[in-house]
Structure 1
Amino acid sequence: MSAAARKPAAERDAARTAELGARLRVLRQTREMTLDALAEATGLDKGYLSRLERGMKNPSIATVLRISEALEVPVAELFGERLAEHAVRVTRARDRLSLSPAGDSAHGIEALSRDGAALEAFVLHPAAEFSADGHAEHAGEELFFVLRGTVELRFADRGFVLEPGDCAQFPGHLPHRIRRVGAEPASALVAVARPPRERRGRGGG
């Protein structure tokens, strides 16, 4: 085989090794497992595992089996050839969970994400008035995307009037309040990326 023919094969192997490393890191972090903990569970060196996650090492079958057992995932999932049983969750519109009804003084909330998900998402139907409970504050990053109607997003010293298609992104620890503007119904997609172990709680102030 010529050098030119070997180069694409080497590049493909390097890409597969990098993908395996990235997948391993995601699976480990999803389980909130440190490299130290994985090293202890597998009997492998922490430095070796770190290089593996960075795509710098190509593991043997024995190593893959150890990691698979420690992470409690099928080997095929490590190689991206099989989805975890609950990796993809589809919620039909008819099955969407309504957490609270919409009203003039209360936000309507429909859950989109599953319990324990790293990304919490819901559809918010803002009330006509700001919540009497005061400002909402939470850990993580929030993304607020207006689907219909007009919405006011207010912070401590400024407010923003958002129309359909407008989007705001901000740290969740900033005190904020939300209300619809006008008589027409409004709705927004809200996504909150929470840090691990953060106690869950639906937002929208």
Structure 2
Amino acid sequence: MSERERSAPDPRPAAPDQRPARGQRPAPDQPPAGDLAGVLTAVGPRLRALRQERQVTLAALSEETGISVSTLSRLESGGRKPTLELLLPLARAYRVQLDELVDAPTTGDPRVHPRPFSRHGQTFIPLTRHLGGLHAYKQILPPGYGRGAEQRVHEGFEWCYVLSGTVGLRLGDRELTLGPGEAAEFDTRVPHAFSNPGSQPAEFLSLFGAQGERMHVRARPAGGPASGSPGPGVS
């Protein structure tokens, strides 16, 4: 054995009852092969959920990333193995960290490094790192946003809390006005649309999930008292 081979560190992690040499850091634990396969298998559904959440078509995503529509479709369905060459442009297009796309194990740092993105004329600031389950955002509506906007319907449940400004919420046939400190919750299968009738930007926190937990809050109808009777999807 050569001198270089003798001095090279052992790539295998030390046994539980062994201590690393003085001045040497312990080797990091490696995920079992089964866990790694599970992480890779979950990438496709996570990519599809993210694209649908952002309301982006495969054609639009293909144009932005340079990845063919067929490759994107196979990647989402699990027919194509995710590689760094494919995931990097997707992470840039979605403005998320690469480890969010693959649900990489936590490194011990709980801080979230949000990257704002714009959709439908409003700004979203992600407050959660994981793409599955419940999503948390800070949303910013510019003055006059959403006047006459078409109501949307989709699966899920949403809760929002106004930080500043005035947020208008059209929920079915009802029009609600939310000010700072007020919150509302509703089933997103009810036609809904947000607006900002004020002259200043409106900011609010939003929690959204396909099967979100309900939070009991109260919103007031436009021009009505705060104790007005709740409408559909608002309590």
Structure having the larger proportion of residues in helix: 1
Larger RCO, structures 1/2 (Cα 8 Å, 6+ apart): 1
> What TM-score does the superposition give when structure 1 sets the normalisation length?
0.46
> What TM-score does the superposition give when structure 2 sets the normalisation length?
0.40
